[in-house]
Structure 1
Amino acid sequence: MKECSKALVLLNMGGARNKNELEMFLTNMFNDKNILTIKSDFFRSLIAKFIVKSRKDSAWKNYEAIGGRSPINPLTEKLLSKLNDELTDTCVVQVMRYTPPFAQEAIKELEKKKVKEVILFPMYPQYSTTTTKSSVEDFLFFAKRKFHIKVIEPFYKNRVFNEAIIDTIKNSVEKHEEYNLIFSAHGLPQKIVDSGDPYEKQINEHVEILSALLEEENIHFKSISLAYQSKVGPLKWLEPALDEELKKFRDQKVLIYPIAFLIDNSETDFELSIEYNEEAKKIGIEEYKVCKCLNDGENFIKAIKDIINVV
């Protein structure tokens, strides 16, 4: 790590590099009080153990389908390398919530470099207690006032960021008017939203902003809609579910943009690109395509620089 007095810390959930890390990911996630909103740590731990035991083998089969590891790790490393080259006066590091590198490790490294100022950049465009709040709280807990810390607010309204998304969508297909564009967001249990989580509201606003930008650029899709993926368990989740939304487009072409993700991960590479693709074939969708996330693209790097300069 280069010498610096300021650091940019990218916060994300993480992803497994092997089967042991998958068990670690699931264990840490279901022990997170922001995910399983149970007051008792003891009962949360018991439930977490049960869930992990019942899911880890089937979840690993999903990982095997994409090469046995999440793409989030190598892609984030590439992004870090480029940002460290671009931001000459700033150390850029990553902190994952459920798999290494954890906050404790990053904080020790920043202390060694005598970093005084830290900018926390949650890699979630829209705010949710299950993502942004969980990641920020985790870092602040271990930092214990060792740095002057600023936290980037939800940036789904940032123009440069949204132009990067539009560029990705625009270049994913040639004849836009032949495709139905679906913005797919990671779902949440309805009870979390009902308790005051602003995620759904911000997702809806983001879809409106991107739809207006597409109109500005004279890019016209056959239709534009929003759906939610990743529902698990018996609870009511945000709707419409992506599998239900796809049923509207039999014999038509569909383009999916993962609006809640910045870096490709198991949910984009397996769930969207493989699992829902199989569902689309069963429905009779003529063509099903998934946009890549912004990843380490130059437009995303420009957006990050623009967003942190607003702090």
Structure 2
Amino acid sequence: MSDQVQKKRAIILFNLGGPDSPEAVKPFLFNLFNDPAIISLPNPFRYLLAKLISSRRAPVAQEIYAHLGGKSPLLELTQDQANALQTSLNDSDNGFENRCFIAMRYWKPFANETAKQVKAWGADEMILLPLYPQFSTTTSGSSVKDWKEVCRDIDLSIPMKTACCYPTNPGFIDATADMVKEGYQRALDQNKGAPRLLFSAHGVPKAVITRRNDPYQSQIEKSAQAVVDKMAIPGLDWLVCYQSRVGPMEWIGPSTEEEIKRAGKDAVPLVIVPIAFVTEHSETLVELDIEYREIADHLKIPVYERVRTVCSHSKFIAGLANVIEETQSALDQNGVDTDSGQTRGWWCPDDHVCATAKQPG
């Protein structure tokens, strides 16, 4: 057996994380708002503000998670994805022994715990895979930066490459289109008229897009357009909107809630598609399924159909495997990630969407 077959490749799956008990809600929120990628104030101001926000929001957030049994399902669903991806990679002849690890940003397992496991396993190379198809400094960027800092702290120094974004990856688009077609047909079957599709993504403050040159909004639009193109339904009524706004800052829009209200005025059926989330969590299971449904019911919207996230859909997992291999090719050809690439902004230019990041010139 060749040396290449013997090499161990660690695949690090990044996700947001979620509280695993009612008691974890407040510290989870603190970790979220204490992230400089979320609130860019210097310390001690960011720390104090994070303390204040997490204390005020904890009771409301605990009520939200009470609908989910007191905890987020995100870790279990991400573990299912990790297991499926690991099986897919090891079933193919890629020359590696692959093992998938999970690193959550704001709750357990944290990056430092996962990095120690990767080091103990004796990985020869690492591929970093954010479970965010569209890049943002607030999500993928924050997770990768945190991971690199942890690796320096524990002296985990092996070849490493990041899949920065994959907004139009065929597996992701095909899986999403399959599920949207099913939801669209369910709405049609109720004979209330042609539905309107709302591709709903988590919003960000407008300043994130304008001041950081963040490609998130552009890539959300690319993903939605690719799904619509794949569905190929003539005259389809659709648009992109954004949910989960918090705080007084101006956020990108239109908001999902505003678009639900507009659909009420237009008396059209709705099909809601979470386009930035690949696993179910509070923003889908509570915000979309309960809170926004109540608004739709109050407005007497004739149909409110919510499409599930792709989770471990076989086409999505195949798409992730493809992203890994494209990223591996970039690692082999172009070398490892550099800190300067990450801190200067690391994403695909608007005119070229690819699975792997290219450092700016």
Match for 1:199: what amino acid? Y
1:135-179, Cα deviation, whole Å (9 max, x unpaired): 100111111252211100210121222111111111224238721
1:13-92 alignment to 2 at 5 Å?
13-38=16-41, 40-88=42-90, 89-92=97-100
Which residue number in structure 1 is paired with residue 310 of structure 2?
A: 294
Match of 1:224 in 2: 238
Structure 2 residue corresponding to 1:200, chosen from 201, 217, 221: 217
What CA RMSD, in Å, does the superposition of the two structures yield over aligned residues? 1.6
* Distance in 1 (alpha carbons) for counterparts of 2:48 and 2:314: 44
Matched, 1:255 2:271: yes
Q: Shift in Å at residue 221 of structure 1?
A: 6.7
Structure 2 residue aligned with 1:241, among 230, 255, 271? 255
Q: Is it true that 1:132 corresponds to 2:140 in the alignment?
A: yes
Aligned partners of 1:111 and 1:222: how far apart in 2? Answer: 50
Q: How does 1:178-189 map to 2 (within 5 A)?
A: 178-189=194-205
The corresponding residue for 1:164 is 175
Mapped to 2, the partners of 1:57 and 1:85 lie a distance apart of: 40
2:86 maps to amino acid: N
**Deviation, structure 1 residue 81:** 2.1
Tell me how far apart the structure 1 counterparts of residues 11 and 252 of structure 2 sit (CA, whole Å). 33
CA offset digits 1:121-146 (Å, max 9, x no partner): 01111111100110100111111252
Hey, what does 1:123 align to over in structure 2?
Answer: 131
Identity %, equivalent residues:
33
- Flag structure 2 segments of 5+ consecutive residues without an equivalent: 1-5, 91-96, 328-361
Residues 1:205 and 1:85: Cα distance change in structure 2 (over 3 Å) = closer
Greater C-alpha radius of gyration: 2
Match of 2:164 in 1: 153
TM-score by length of 2: 0.81
Tell me by how many angstroms 1:34 deviates. 0.3
User: How far apart, in 2, do the equivalents of 1:245 and 1:5 lie?
Assistant: 48
What is the CA-CA distance between 1:83 and the residue it aligns to? 2.3
TM-score (norm 1): 0.94
1: distance between equivalents of 2:235 and 2:14? 33
Partners in 2 of 1:203 and 1:63 — Cα distance? 27
Where 1:300 maps in the other structure, the secondary structure is helix
Q: Pick from 96, 111, 117: which aligns with 1:103?
A: 111
Unaligned runs of 5+ residues in structure 1 are none
- For residue 297 of structure 2, what is the amino acid of its counterpart? K
**1:210 and 2:227 correspond:** yes
Offset of residue 74 of structure 1? 1.5
Quick check: 1:181–1:221 contact (8 Å CA) kept in 2?
A: no
Provide the C-alpha distance between the structure 1 equivalents of 2:108 and 2:7, rounded to a whole number of angstroms.
23
CA distance in 2, matches of 1:127, 1:84: 23
User: Are 1:265 and 2:273 an aligned pair?
Assistant: no
Q: Could you tell which deviates more after superposition, 121-130 or 77-86?
A: 77-86
Amino acid of the structure 2 residue aligned with 1:104: N
Which ranges of 4 or more aligned residues in structure 1 deviate by more than 4 Å?
none
Question: Residues 200-230 of structure 1, C-alpha deviation per residue, up to 9 Å, x if partnerless?
Answer: 1211222222222222xxx357511111101
